[in-house]
Each structure stands twice: as structure tokens, then as C-alpha cells.
A and B are shown apart, each in its own frame.
Chain A
Amino acid sequence: MIIASNVSKKFGKLKVLDNITVNCTKGECIALIGPNGCGKTTFIKSILGMVVCDSGFITFNGKNIKHDWKYRENIGYMPQIGRYPDNMTIGQVLNMMKDIRGKKNFKLDEELINKFGLDEMLNKRMRTLSGGTRQKVSAALAFLFNPDVLILDEPTAGLDPVASEILKEKIIAEKNKGKLVLITSHILSELDDLVTQVIYMQEGKLWFHKSISDLKEDTGEEKLSRAIAKVMTQ
């Protein structure tokens, strides 16, 4: 569904992405793992077209994304740090996104808005929200339009245990519907029951892209966190 071939990106002298080639298929839940600053977010942003890669190309459903923008209709993106216009209220942000993205007779998925209790604080201004509540808004927006692909950048960072359980359940439910989920996280224990494949990156390079059973077999560990720890110390 998403194919990246030889994607490279430099910020000044720093090589953030170095020849990344990945093939992500439908129905998978893929974890992007790697140390801080290894290029995970940049890779995600280049899939979304927020960062323009220097060389290589990315295709979405067989179409190059470089001069395309419509493909983003099929992506729900939850950023690492959700930043929204300060003097809009939650309700206004939600309505604006519905207005910009929503097509007529389109079924919206408002499950997360209700479960997170966002519908009860629609009049709160974005400026006054805590980091966790902002994350809830980001998550609700990512799932709102029923996209085929979900890209979640550190989704549970800053969420309270109840909210992060709700979000995890939602991710599993969407994965079971056959959607592609790309997820980055440093809390590996959380990923255990979510992911089917692992992409491991370090210093902008792709180290491996394996299914989770292969990874556990290769390292001889039962838990993802231990398996990754073993890879990192090798």
C-alpha cells in the first residue's frame, strides 16, 4: 500500500534518512522502532508530504505522492506533538476539519470523541488544554474520517492509563478491519499485543523490517522489549 524506495533526506549536513526502502501492506500493524533522533518522525512526515525527500520516491496505492495530495484523504495522522490554533475551541477545530475534509453523506467515526469525553468540553480553547487532552484531540481527529491508513506518532505518550487503553483497543479494532497502522512508540511493552511487523531504524538507516514472529524466533525472546534490547546491544 505504501512503498518507499531509496528515500533520503538531509537537514543541512545531517543525514536524517539514508536510503530507506520499505513496503507496507494492508492489514498490518507496523511498529517503527529506533533510538531518539533516528529519523522515525521524518520518515512519517515524508509519507505525509510534510517533508519533501531529497531523493528516492514514495508511492501510495501505486501512485507517486510527489505531486499528489488527494491520497491524504486516506490517511489519518496523529502527530507526536499536536499543535492547533490557540484561540480556537475543541468544537471549532473538529468542525473545521469536518468542513475541510468531510464529504457529503460521509460516515464519521466519532467513537473516540465520545469515549474520551471530548464532546463535553467542546467549548474549551485549545490554548487552555493540557498536553494529554491535546493528544486526545489529535487521536480523535486521526480516526474521525475512517481512513484506510493510520499513522500514529507516539500515540500514548502523555495519555492517562484509561485513555491509552481506550486508544489501544481502538487501534486493534481498526487493524482487524483490515487497515494499515503505522505506529511509533518507545513503550515497547505496549506494542506487544498490537503489532504484527517491526521496522527498526538507527541513524537514518533501515536495519530490518521483519514480522514479529520472525524477530522473536531470531532473537529467541518471548517479549518484544527484550527482543529489541537484544538487537540494540548486539
Chain B
Amino acid sequence: MKKIIKYVIIDILRNKIVLAYTAFLLLISISIFNLEDNSAKGLLSLLNIILIIVPLVSLLFPAIYVYNSSEFLELLVSQPLKRKTIWLSLFLGLAVSMSFAFFVGAGIPILLFQATATGFMMLGAGLILSVIFVALAMLAAVIARDKAKGIGVVILLWLYFSVIFDGLILFILFQFADYPLEKMMVAATAFNPIDLSRILILLKMDVAALMGYTGAIFKDFFGTQMGLIVSFLVLVTWMIIPTWLSLRKFKHKDL
């Protein structure tokens, strides 16, 4: 397993896109921290950019990579290797590369400029989000045989998680404004890892005070130890379920 992970990572490094992504994140985070005189404010601006870019790149790059390494997968499957080993190695190789890129590109500047609880929360959320979206991308890539279709699905997934989901929530909030929906809103965040991470990080910041009544409900839940553990478990579930589904699919795939 280690050997295959090694070859996947060497191949990704040779590809240079992940290096460019790292450099891009590094450029953004350093310039934002330098633009704002208050590094806590800088962290807030960085949050919004990261929550858009990290899922997008962690979905698109792995999906394209899986399609492009179909030859490599075919070669490996005809060798004395378990399919499970092959698929998990590919997953781990991609997940490690994407998280490491995030750690170097955004994590190190965060630790340099804002090594607070909020900063650590953001670092953790970014790493977890990278892994979750790699898992989702691989699931899409194993289900759709056609490359264009698979990448289309991945783009739609990104749109759903970063735009459409929020729209749906707003729509429900306005339509059912007469009903007490606050508790339901807490549950709804479990269906979107991006929103969940955003709330976890925002609640660690001072701006949480500006979020009104819903903010208070959120604080009641996510502010507690229990809430933190539950949200962490939800995020871990978001990593495991897509990986498990894609593995099950790959085991029976005809190559």
C-alpha cells in the first residue's frame, strides 16, 4: 500500500498543478494578512475565500486525476494487488497531497499571523474539507464512466454545496418564517460540510455576536463541548461514507 501511495504522490508532484495551488493559497493568505491591519479581520476575509477555493480545487483536481490515471489503475488491477489497496492508496495519495497543499499554502500563514483557537479551528476545518471533497470527487469519478459527465457532476456538487444549499435554506426560512425553525437549522447544517465549518469558525470569532437570535441558538449548540464533538463526528462521516461507497463501487467495476 505504501508503495502505491508513494507512486501516486510522485505522480501528483510531477503534475505541478498541486504546487501551483499551494503557491496560489500562499499568495492569497499572505497578502490578505498584510492588507488588513487587524489579523483577526484578515482571518475572516481569508475564511470566505478558502471556503470557496478549497472545495472547488479538491473536487476538480482529484476527479480529473482519477480519470487520467485510468491506464495506471488498469495496469495495477492486473497485478497481484487487492482492489481495496489500489483504491485506498489512490484516495490517500490524493487526500495527503491536497491537505498538505492546504497546510503549506494557508495553514502556515494562519499559524504565523493568527495562532489562536480560531486559527487552529480554521486550519483543522480546511484540512478536513480537503479530504471530504477528495472523497466526493472520487465517488463521482467511479460512478460516471464518461469523463465529461463525471467532471460535470463534480462542478454541480460544488455549486450545490457552496451556492444552491444556502439558497434552499434561505428559501425555507422565508417560506416558513412563521414557524420556529432555529433548531431545524442546526440540524440542516449537517447536510453541508462547508456551512458546518463556516459556523464552527465564525462562532469562535467576535462577529458571532452579530448573528442575532439564530446565532444565539447556534452558539448554544456549537459552542458547547458536546456540539463540537457532534460536528466533528458529522465531518468524519462526510469523509467515510463517500469513500466507502466509492470503494464498494470500484471493487465490482469492469476495467
Binding site for B on A (CB under 8 A): 11, 45, 48-52, 69-73, 75, 77, 79, 83-88, 96-97, 99-101
Contacts and interface: CB of A to CB of B under 8 A. Distances in A.
Interface residues of B, number: 24
Contact of B4 (A79, A83, A88, A100): A100
27 contacts: A11-B254, A48-B78, A49-B77, A50-B78, A50-B255, A51-B255, A52-B254, A69-B81, A69-B82, A70-B80, A71-B80, A72-B78, A72-B79, A72-B80, A72-B81, A75-B78, A79-B74, A83-B71, A83-B74, A84-B75, A85-B71, A85-B75, A86-B71, A88-B11, A96-B7, A97-B79, A100-B4
Contacts of B81: 69, 72, 100
Nearest to A70: B80
B254 A101 contact: no
A71 B4 CA distance: 19
5 nearest A-B residue pairs (beta carbon): A83-B71, A72-B80, A73-B80, A51-B254, A85-B72
B80 A101 contact: yes
Contact of A100 (B70, B79, B82, B83): B79
B79 to A, nearest CB: 6
A79 B75 CA distance: 9
A50 B77 contact: yes
A88 B76 CA distance: 15
A99 B4 CA distance: 9
Contact of A85 (B69, B252, B254): B69
Given A45-B254, A50-B254, A75-B78, 7 more contacts: A48-B78, A50-B255, A52-B252, A83-B75, A85-B11, A87-B15, A101-B80
Contacts of A84: 71-72, 75
Nearest to B70: A83
Given A51-B254, A52-B252, A69 B71 contact: no
B95 to A, nearest CB: 20
A67 to B, nearest CB: 10
Interface in B1-35: 3-4, 7, 11, 14-15
Contact of B78 (A77, A85, A87): A77
Interface string B155-195: 00000000000000000000000000000000000000000
Interface of B: 3-4, 7, 11, 14-15, 69-72, 74-83, 252-255
A83 B74 CA distance: 8
A97 to B, nearest CB: 7
Nearest to B14: A87
Which of A51, A71, A96 gathers most chain B CB within 10 Å? A96
Contacts of B4: 100
Nearest to B75: A84
A52 B255 CA distance: 9
A69 B79 CA distance: 8
A212 B252 CA distance: 36
B47 to A, nearest CB: 36
A83 B67 CA distance: 13
B38 to A, nearest CB: 45
B11 A50 contact: no
A87 B80 contact: no
Contacts of B82: 69
B45 to A, nearest CB: 37
Contacts of A48: 77-78
Nearest to A42: B254
